Amino acid sequence: MAKSPFTRRDEQRELSRRALIKWTLACGAGLGVSRSKVHEILEKHAGKGVAAAASTAAFCNVVQIDEGGGGQSNIVGQLVPYFGIAQAKNPAFSWAFGDGADQGKPFVGTPYPLWDYNGNPFGHLPAEMQVSAFPCGSNNTHNSNAATSTFGLGGKGTGAFAAEMQVTALSSIIPALAIGANPGPSAVPFASTGNVAGAVNLFNSVASRTGGLLERSNEADLYTAHYEILSSLNRVAKNPIQAGAYKTSREAAKFLGKNLAAQLTVTPAELAEYGATGGSNGIRRYAEALAFTVKAFQLGLTHNIHFSGMKNDPHGFWDQGTFQTEPAIFRRVIKTFMLKMAATNDPLTGEPLDRNLVMFWQGDTPKQARNRAGWGDGSAMNHNVVVAYSSGHIKAGWHGDHSAAGVVTSLDDAGNQVAYNGTVAAQKALACIAYAVAKRRARDIQSFAGNTKIDAQVNPLEL
Amino acid sequence: MTRFTTSLLLVLVAGASACSSDIEDENLPDNNPGGEETSGNEDTTYDHENDGKSPWEVLAEQQAAGPMRYQSRIHGCVKVRYETVGNILTSRGVGTNGQARNLFTTGQNSMGAPVYSARIRENLVPSTAGMSRLFDIFASASTEIIANFANVDACKVGGAAVPLFDNGGATCNAEAFTCLAGTTITAAHIDICNKTIAGAKNAAGNPDQALGQRLAVAVMLAAAHTCE
């Protein structure tokens, strides 16, 4: 049926409206104007409808954490224990949860089994907001770069696909940022830095510092305006083939005169607040990255941060003194991040940032869950693990399990535990995460997830 | 008219308006008969192009430009490669130890340089972070380039240096900037370059020619090296 002129007009208007929203918010971020102020301006000059549309985030913010060199074992060993392993409370198993004799209990109310314990960094959240964990993929011991080979669909990582979805609707200065991590192939270029200091430096141009060429707004404006004129002299700058590159470059020219380093730098006091001062290098790296993430999301500078977490190879961890202290520090870092996210409102939606977040961990090897003495490499049935906090979009709990007998299971289409199939389970896990990023809009993830069936593992879209 | 007929009419009218409920009422003109104007004006009609090109003109342009597959080959805009940026700096008078060089050597990640050890190829698509760093490098390099330009062999004509600026430093020299940019500089470019020099002001709000020259070099380099 042909569309009516009114429908076509509305569609056209929606496009221009979306462009208006996108560019207004991007300009606001670039100029350091708060999102609420931008919404006020939009409401005044473009109407309530546009302002309301601008305040709705179509996709969640994404934090992807890669654990390499044996590091993924820290996640199941210190943060989210296998349910079957935890329930057994066997002192010979590789885990350390609870305090003293209190080794925790099943979390009440989660759709799939999950273990709760004292110090659980997600323990303050309701059952429906708890993490989801997936036995999936294959073990990749000591591989620091298994992101797309093990945890990718069609050679693309979930974080990279998330960035591609996000740029269609979310405005930001830097669409996606990789800190010491390799996001793999992506149509959206990730800004890449080696560490958090490097990430801060992205927003700390020499030109904008005191004494810099663009220190004063007059020069910054002059530079931006004349760059735009010069680029417009290129007759093919508006050609669709070049338009994208020029759009990015004009944003960069505008951004050159802004300096946000002071707001983004992670201070020693903040590290202390996260409890990371006495932690290992991995813990400090975590704390720095997460503290930076809160600030970057708060300022709307990016919506997608991918960083490298633990790189240790903790053989014999349970025989060392550090196992008494390190897990508690690690959990405090994560918990502090979650509490800060809860206490900080999303500049776009006005909701707490933790309600608009998908954070997931993937890595090389979960190590042997039943070998405390050596915490040996490899894993039962050669499985691997992905853990995700999804703001409640994915059903909470373990989507499969690792039993005390060493049997690993994954879920079938109906959500029943079946014999472990790493490939299928990985497809489902990654599709679930993409689904969460897309805020339950299954259609948005079809190009990534295909027809992977995840209905039993996710919460439905409420219309 | 019976009560039944009246009710039926009302239901039909309500149904008809429900079908078009996707139109935002608040944006529509008030078309009450006898009241305000019923014809549209600038504020009450959809804002569309009346002076655009005809479809035939667009078609002719597209045919002249060639298919997208061909255009992408000749007009592609990949970023300037990391190594190339280094070569540009070196060949245009930037030293090995200054601030610009330091920004360059520490900017590998943000500029998408290849990491062969991790089997990561050079990123070809410009990113905001990468372009910001590139422009930052040019901004920092402007001082060195201006100071050393007379010694840049690549930009000498017949063995003699060409000045970057003419008229007592107030205007840009087309030959020199053509060499700097690596592409032909037109009168329009020079006009913008001159206006950049004239537009710069110091902290007191007075014209600052030296600052303007630095700005001119920085912005001309940025515009010239947006695409490889």
pLDDT tens digits, A12-41 = 444 445 455 555 666 666 666 655 566 566
E strand or H helix at A384:
strand A383-389
Q: What pLDDT is recorded for position A240?
A: 73
- Along the 228 residues of chain B, how does pLDDT read in single tens digits? 444 444 444 444 444 444 444 444 444 445 444 445 555 566 666 555 556 678 888 788 777 777 777 777 777 788 899 999 999 999 999 999 999 999 999 888 788 888 787 677 788 888 888 898 999 999 999 999 999 999 999 999 999 999 999 999 999 999 999 999 998 899 999 999 999 999 999 989 999 999 999 999 999 999 999 988
Q: Which of residues 187-216 of B touch A (CB under 8 A)?
A: 188-189, 192, 195-196, 199-201, 203, 211, 214-215
Residues B79, B116: Cα–Cα separation, whole Å: 19
Taking each helix axis from N to C end, the angle separating A240-255 and B68-75, rounded to the nearest 10 degrees, works out to 40
Q: What pLDDT is recorded for position A7?
A: 47
CA distances from A143 to A72, B37, B121, B156 (A): 10, 73, 19, 53
Which of A387, A329, A400, A331 shows the shortest CA–CA distance to A358?
A: A387
Other C-beta atoms closer than 10 Å to the C-beta of A214 total 27
CA distances from A463 to A58, A189, A460 (A): 15, 34, 9
Q: What pLDDT is recorded for position B42?
A: 60
Q: Are strands A177-179 and A115-116 parallel, antiparallel or unpaired?
A: unpaired
Q: At residue B184, what are phi and psi to the nearest 5 degrees?
A: -65, 130
Question: How confident is the prediction for chain A on average, in pLDDT?
Answer: 85
Q: Is the confidence at residue A425, as pLDDT, over 50? A: yes
Q: What pLDDT is recorded for position B52?
A: 67
Q: Are strands A105-106 and A115-116 parallel, antiparallel or unpaired?
A: antiparallel
* pLDDT tens digits along A264-275: 999 999 999 999
Percent of chain A with pLDDT over 70: 85
Alpha helices in chain B (DSSP H): 3-19, 55-65, 68-75, 82-91, 99-105, 128-148, 174-181, 187-199, 209-224
| DSSP assignments along A23-91, one per residue | HHHHHHHHHT--HHHHHHHHHHHH-HHHHHHHT--SS-EEEEEEE-TTTTHHIIIIIS--HHHHHHT-T
A206 to B103: CB separation less than 8 angstroms, yes or no = yes
Q: Which residue of A has its CA nearest to B112?
A: A192
Q: Which residue of A has its CA nearest to B208?
A: A219
User: Which of B118, B132, B219 minimises the CB distance to A252?
Assistant: B132
Q: Give the distance from residue A78's alpha carbon to the nearest chain B alpha carbon, in angstroms.
A: 29
Burial (0-12, 13-18, 19+ Cβ within 10 Å), B41? exposed
**Structure tokens of A60?**
């969640």
E strand or H helix at A178:
strand A177-179
**Residues from chain B contacting residue A248 (CB–CB below 8 Å):** 126-128, 131
Q: What pLDDT is recorded for position B8?
A: 41
Residue A9 pLDDT level (bands cut at 50, 70, 90) = very low
Other C-beta atoms closer than 10 Å to the C-beta of A35 total 23
User: Which of A192, A213, A256 minimises the CB distance to B214?
Assistant: A213
Q: Which of A142-156, A233-247, A392-406 has the lowest mean pLDDT?
A: A142-156
**Structure tokens of B216?**
């001119």
**Residues from chain A contacting residue B46 (CB–CB below 8 Å):** 9, 12-13
Show Cβ contacts of residue A268 under 8 Å, excluding neighbours closer than 6 positions. A277
Q: Which residue of A has its CA nearest to B103?
A: A206
**Residues from chain A contacting residue B24 (CB–CB below 8 Å):** 10, 49
**CA angle at residue A157 from A155 to A159, to 5 degrees?**
160
B128 to A255: CB separation less than 8 angstroms, yes or no = yes
**Structure tokens of B176?**
């020199």
Q: Give the distance from residue B209's alpha carbon to the nearest chain A alpha carbon, in angstroms.
A: 12
Select the residue from B26, B77, B143, B228 to test the A interface by mutation, using most A Cβ atoms within 10 A: B77
Strands of A310-381, DSSP E: 357-363
Interface check B174 vs A, CB under 8 A: no
Q: At residue A410, what are phi and psi to the nearest 5 degrees?
A: -130, -175
Q: At residue B207, what are phi and psi to the nearest 5 degrees?
A: -55, 140
**Structure tokens of B205?**
């709000």
Q: Which of A246-255, A293-302, B82-91 has the lowest mean pLDDT?
A: A246-255
E strand or H helix at A419:
strand A417-419
Q: What pLDDT is recorded for position A149?
A: 61
**Residues from chain A contacting residue B129 (CB–CB below 8 Å):** 174, 177, 191-192, 202, 252
A212 to B139: CB separation less than 8 angstroms, yes or no = yes
Q: Which residue of A has its CA nearest to B71?
A: A241
User: Which of B75, B110, B120 minimises the CB distance to A193?
Assistant: B110
Task: Name the most confidently modeled range: A25-34, A52-61, A145-154, B204-213.
Answer: B204-213
Q: Are strands A357-363 and A61-67 parallel, antiparallel or unpaired?
A: parallel
CA distances from A187 to A160, A168, A392, B76, B131 (A): 8, 12, 28, 15, 17
* pLDDT tens digits along A86-102: 999 988 898 877 666 67
User: Is A64 in contact with A46 (CB distance < 8 Å)?
Assistant: no
A239 to B71: CB separation less than 8 angstroms, yes or no = yes
**Residues from chain B contacting residue A143 (CB–CB below 8 Å):** none
**Structure tokens of A256?**
């050159």
Residues A266, A260: Cα–Cα separation, whole Å: 12
Residues B110, B94: Cα–Cα separation, whole Å: 20
Percent of chain A with pLDDT over 90: 48
A249 to B126: CB separation less than 8 angstroms, yes or no = yes
Q: At residue B69, what are phi and psi to the nearest 5 degrees?
A: -60, -40
Residues A158, A437: Cα–Cα separation, whole Å: 10
Show Cβ contacts of residue A110 under 8 Å, excluding neighbours closer than 6 positions. A127, A128, A130, A395, A396, A397
Q: What pLDDT is recorded for position B25?
A: 45
**Structure tokens of A136?**
């999936």
User: Which of B76, B189, B219 minimises the CB distance to A227?
Assistant: B219
DSSP code of residue A135: E
User: Which of A9, A174, A227 minimises the CB distance to B129?
Assistant: A174
* pLDDT tens digits along A163-189: 999 888 877 778 899 999 988 888 888
**CA angle at residue B175 from B170 to B180, to 5 degrees?**
90
Residues A377, A373: Cα–Cα separation, whole Å: 12
CA distances from B178 to A103, B164, B170 (A): 73, 10, 17
E strand or H helix at A138:
strand A132-138
User: Which of A202, A216, A218 minimises the CB distance to B132?
Assistant: A202
A242 to B75: CB separation less than 8 angstroms, yes or no = yes
B219 to A205: CB separation less than 8 angstroms, yes or no = no
Residue A350 pLDDT level (bands cut at 50, 70, 90) = confident
Select the residue from A8, A248, A311 to test the B interface by mutation, using most B Cβ atoms within 10 A: A248
| Sequence letter at residue A52 | A
| Sequence letter at residue A13 | R
Q: Give the distance from residue B63's alpha carbon to the nearest chain A alpha carbon, in angstroms.
A: 14
Q: Which residue of B has its CA nearest to A228?
A: B223
Q: What pLDDT is recorded for position B125?
A: 80
Q: Which of A214-218, A385-389, B40-44, B80-84 has the lowest mean pLDDT?
A: B40-44
| DSSP assignments along B127-176, one per residue | -HHHHHHHHHHHHHHHHHHHHHGGG-GGG-BTTB---SEEGGGTEE-HHH
A216 to B203: CB separation less than 8 angstroms, yes or no = yes
Other C-beta atoms closer than 10 Å to the C-beta of B15 total 9
Q: Is the confidence at residue A106, as pLDDT, over 60? A: yes
B219 to A174: CB separation less than 8 angstroms, yes or no = no
A10 to B23: CB separation less than 8 angstroms, yes or no = yes
Q: Is the confidence at residue A147, as pLDDT, over 80? A: no
Strand order in the sheet with A417-419: A401-402, A408-411, A417-419
CA distances from A89 to A302, A318, A376, A431, B191 (A): 42, 15, 19, 32, 78
| Sequence letter at residue B55 | P
Residues B96, A346: Cα–Cα separation, whole Å: 44
Q: Which residue of A has its CA nearest to B214?
A: A213
3-state secondary structure of A361: strand
